[in-house]
Amino acid sequence: MLCVATAMASNLLFAHAHLQGGGKHAASEQPRALPVESPLVKPLKIHLERVKARQNSPATFYVGKVNVGQPPQELTVLFDTSSGHVLVPHKGCKSKACVEHKRYSPWKSTTAMDVNVDGDEVDKGHRFARHGLVRTGVSVDFTQADLGEGTAKSVVVRDNVCMAGDTGEACVDLEVVTAIDEQDVPFRAMPNDGIVGLGLESLAAGPLLSFMSSLMGQSKNVLPQFGISFGPEGGDIYFGGQSPDLKSPLHWVPVDHPEGGYWQVDIKSVRVGGQIVDECSRGCHGVIDSGTSHLGVQSYRLHNLRPQLVTQVLPMAGCTGPELEFDLGTTVITLGAKDYSDESCTPAVGPLNLEEPAFVGVYAFGESVLRRYYVGFDWENKKVGFALNYAAEPTAVDNTFVVF
């Protein structure tokens, strides 16, 4: 789910609710930060469940659980490599996309505080802002290859976000983006309540809003890496290192233009059945996007790719078709027909409506890539690593991982 966030100023919308929810707390009370468990003996493994989108959409998402605030408020979230902050629906949000999901209530959290994007308290001496005050907010634009594009208008609340895994729990004190209005598209159809952004720091509207920057900065003696593995029914995400179950080594590729915030790699060319369909003469980029099930392609390039992906179902072989290859220079990412097609063997390729020159030749590596390859992310060295996914179904392309 490609995301662009911008700061904005907005009038306070929830003065009455703030007074009701915050009246029992002392005005000078400060949020209590829960430190990340440190050191982690091994990477924190969080299980993800594969679920279908709402409103009869064929899209699927891999979601997990987080707890926000004290006492904990459990929310279902999408761990999204193409956004940079934590976004959850605010209890005061009345749009359908919010009320049809579980909403976060800062007034029920003893560790919550209204803040501006720069981290300053909105109302000095009070945890919650009072009527008539103006606060800076965040407008978040999402482009989703499966569901479309839309905007969430939000305000910022500082609170604790905790993730529980099989080896313990990790918590971080963070500025959380809380939506006060979400458009129907794409948010109503999403099966998750909120989004945890795993993108690089600049993808958030401010450094204090960056989830990964806060997590890495507050962690001690933890390898600044994470990894993602998707399977047919669910998946896993690892924080503080990589999966111990990899069957082949990770092949690392440098992040292209890391200042843009995306985990993106340079694509030299795109081939179908061994024939080049995109020479990438003006440049191409593969953005690792864990928030989309389709293979996303910039809309004006889609006509070059889609007609070449001719698939069919054969009695013994099942879904067959030409191999789709992304040449990364030192590594070739290869997908078989079963990887880039849906259950009916129809190529699952969706358009990305991204404007140039900010985005040029973008291919969103979503579920189709993340089920074929385990992907590792190196926060410190700004690299992305690929290894054949042990959880994926065997196909004819399992031995075609090419390293030059």
Please write the tens of the pLDDT for every residue from 73-91.
999 999 999 999 999 999 9
Residue 49's pLDDT band, with cuts at 50, 70 and 90, is very high
pLDDT tens profile 335-380: 999 999 998 999 999 888 887 777 889 999 999 999 999 999 999 9
Q: What phi, psi does 207 have (nearest 5°)? A: -60, -30
Q: Is the pTM of this model over 0.75?
A: yes
CB atoms within 10 A of CB 272: 21
The stretches of 250-373 forming alpha helices (DSSP H) are: 302-305, 337-340, 367-370
Helices (H), 254-394: 302-305, 337-340, 367-370
Separation of alpha carbons 254 and 383, rounded Å: 4
CA-CA-CA-CA dihedral for 167, 387, 268, 368, to nearest 10? -80
361-370 in b/e form (b: 16+ CB < 10 A) is bbbbbbbbbb
Contact between residue 228 and residue 290 where contact means Cβ atoms under 8 Å apart = yes
Q: pLDDT band at residue 22, thresholds of 50, 70 and 90?
A: very low
Q: Which of 16-20, 44-48, 172-176 has the lowest mean pLDDT?
A: 16-20
In terms of Cα–Cα distance, which of 81, 82, 326, 334 is closest to 227?
A: 81
Q: How far is residue 46's CA from residue 28's CA, in Å, rounded to a whole number?
A: 36
| Mean residue pLDDT across the chain | 87
Does residue 12 surpass a pLDDT of 80?
no
Instruction: Measure Cα distances from 340 to 80, 306, 334, 369 in Å.
Output: 20, 11, 10, 8
pLDDT digits (tens, 9 = 90+) for 32-43: 334 444 444 589
* Residue 97 near residue 188 (C-beta atoms within 8 A): yes
390 or 56, which is more confident: 56
Q: Region 131-160: what's the mean pLDDT?
A: 88
Cα–Cα nearest to 109, from 85, 128, 123, 137: 128
**Domains in the chain, CATH or no CATH each:** 2-238 (2.40.70.10), 246-403 (2.40.70.10)
**42: exposed, middle or buried (C-beta count within 10 Å: 0-12, 13-18, 19+)?**
middle
Report cis status (omega within 30 of 0) of the bond before 186: yes
